[in-house]
């Protein structure tokens, strides 16, 4: 059997069948992981974890270690093996689509789900991190969604350690991009826990970005919109990300607010307006991504007194839309800030128009006199 051959001492013939260019450390790790004794397997798992921490080439060369590493996750394996093997698999999966798929195909998911329910905090954290990495694979998303992992991730989001909560919301964000997973996620009522994590996170952080990604997906459901509106400071937290988040986070934030407002303008318009969203929308209209700019324009139109154009004498320009909204804002501070933002936006627009005219003048050739 091949396994028996792998358990023998290395020889020149053994080296010939090993991937070209492999270092002696990779060769040694692949050999150790095939041995029957527990200590050799544990040593191999630790070495594979070390080798694959930053090296993409080692992840490829050590791909054949996936199956023996997964076998180390079994219930009947020594507990000391579980975390070492899981961390080695986690590193193997980073930025390697084939390894991500191989790990799931080898049956690791059942073990990872078991570890999510472990009382061992370190093992629980490692399992959550593993699901985060594995869920980045398009092929794995439906498999993970159907495995029962989503309710456990939401439970981690509610009761896990800080790092586990961050990894859980990022995994949920990955899984939410597969449509069939959305129903499973919304049934677990994740919004309150996501909002709690968002409120405790720096608005410009990756965590806030992923929180808003999940929220944007969840407010497509009535249950998600209701849950967000019911959370104290929930809509405000999204508005704050719209103002101070990463470009992608701001896109998720404005998308979430637009979806809410479009679903029931009469119900949600005032809730959004009172959180001071206008200055952020004005800035986004000028500096956001193309999607953000379009969504900001649409939301501004919905937030004014009437969402329909008034007349040909009062055209549906951004300035008119915003002036209409500003006239309805009771808070002097918000109104003053919005007016200042509008003035700055108009100034930027004028400067951009002037530069455009200057560029056109430079490329135009004068006609014959």
Tens of pLDDT, residue by residue over 328-367, are 555 555 556 555 655 555 555 445 545 555 555 565 544 4
Share of the chain above pLDDT 90, in %: 74
- Residue 62 corresponds to which tokens in the numbers above? 């050590």
Tell me which fold the domain 190-304 belongs to: 1.25.10
Mean pLDDT of the chain: 85
* Of 314, 323, 301, 189, residue with least CA distance to 254: 301
User: Distance (Å, rounded) from C-alpha 289 to C-alpha 18?
Assistant: 48
DSSP-derived 3-state class of residue 314: strand
111-129: average pLDDT: 97
- More confident site: 25 or 16: 25
Q: Are 229 and 219 in contact (CB under 8 A)?
A: no
- More confident site: 234 or 317: 234
CA–centroid distance for 202 within its chain: 15
160-178: average pLDDT: 98
**Over 70: is that where the pLDDT of 326 sits?**
no
- Could you tell me how many residues make up the chain? 369
Lowest mean pLDDT among 6-15, 64-73, 264-273: 6-15
Q: Are 70 and 106 in contact (CB under 8 A)?
A: yes
Q: Output the pLDDT for position 365.
A: 47
Q: Where in the chain is the domain with CATH 1.25.10.10?
A: 190-304
Q: Mind listing the pLDDT tens digit for each residue in 194-229?
A: 999 999 999 999 999 999 999 999 999 999 999 999
Q: Are 201 and 208 in contact (CB under 8 A)?
A: yes
In angstroms, the Cα distances linking 96 to 54, 56, 198, 226 are 12, 8, 29, 39
Q: Are 277 and 260 in contact (CB under 8 A)?
A: no
- More confident site: 120 or 307: 120
Domain 25-106 -> CATH class: mainly alpha
**Over 50: is that where the pLDDT of 18 sits?**
no
Burial of 75 (0-12, 13-18, 19+ CB in 10 A): exposed
Share of the chain above pLDDT 70, in %: 76
Helix (H) or strand (E) holding 93: helix 79-93
- More confident site: 314 or 128: 128
Lowest mean pLDDT among 159-163, 251-255, 272-276, 344-348: 344-348
**Which pLDDT band, with edges at 50, 70 and 90, does 22 fall under?**
low
Is this prediction's pTM over 0.75? yes
**Over 90: is that where the pLDDT of 64 sits?**
yes
Q: For 176-246, where are the alpha helices, taking DSSP H only?
A: 179-187, 191-199, 206-218, 222-230, 234-244
């Amino acid at each position: 059997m091949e396994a028996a051959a792998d358990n023998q001492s290395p020889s020149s013939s053994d080296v010939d069948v090993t991937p070209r260019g492999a270092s002696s450390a990779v060769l040694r790790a692949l050999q150790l992981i095939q041995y029957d004794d527990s200590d050799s397997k544990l040593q191999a798992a630790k070495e594979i974890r070390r080798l694959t921490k930053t090296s993409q080439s080692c992840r490829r060369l050590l791909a054949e270690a996936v199956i023996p590493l997964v076998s180390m996750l079994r219930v009947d394996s020594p507990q000391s093996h579980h975390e070492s093997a899981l961390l080695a698999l986690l590193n193997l999966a980073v930025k390697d689509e084939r390894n991500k798929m191989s790990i799931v195909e080898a049956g690791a998911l059942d073990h990872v789900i078991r570890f999510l329910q472990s009382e061992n905090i370190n093992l629980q954290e490692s399992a959550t991190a593993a699901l985060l990495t594995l869920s980045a694979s398009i092929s794995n998303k439906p498999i993970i969604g159907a495995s029962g992992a989503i309710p456990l991730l939401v439970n981690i989001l509610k009761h896990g350690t800080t790092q586990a909560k961050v990894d859980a919301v990022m995994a949920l964000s990955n899984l939410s991009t597969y449509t069939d997973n959305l129903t499973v996620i919304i049934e677990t009522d994740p919004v309150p826990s996501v909002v709690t994590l968002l409120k405790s996170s720096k608005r410009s952080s990756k965590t806030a970005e992923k929180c808003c990604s999940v929220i944007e997906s969840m407010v497509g459901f009535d249950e998600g919109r209701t849950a967000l509106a019911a959370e104290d400071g929930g809509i405000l937290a999204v508005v704050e990300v719209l103002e101070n988040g990463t470009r992608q986070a701001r896109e998720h934030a404005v998308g979430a607010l637009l979806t809410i407002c479009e679903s029931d303008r009469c119900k949600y318009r005032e809730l959004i307006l009172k959180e001071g969203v206008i200055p952020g929308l004005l800035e986004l209209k000028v500096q956001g991504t193309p999607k953000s700019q379009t969504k900001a324009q649409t939301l501004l139109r919905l937030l004014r007194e009437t969402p329909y154009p008034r007349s040909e004498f009062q055209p549906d320009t951004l300035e008119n839309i915003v002036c209409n909204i500003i006239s309805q804002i009771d808070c002097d501070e918000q109104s003053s800030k919005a007016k200042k933002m509008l003035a700055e936006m108009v100034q930027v627009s004028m400067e951009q128009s002037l530069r455009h005219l200057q560029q056109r003048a430079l490329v135009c050739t004068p006609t014959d006199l």
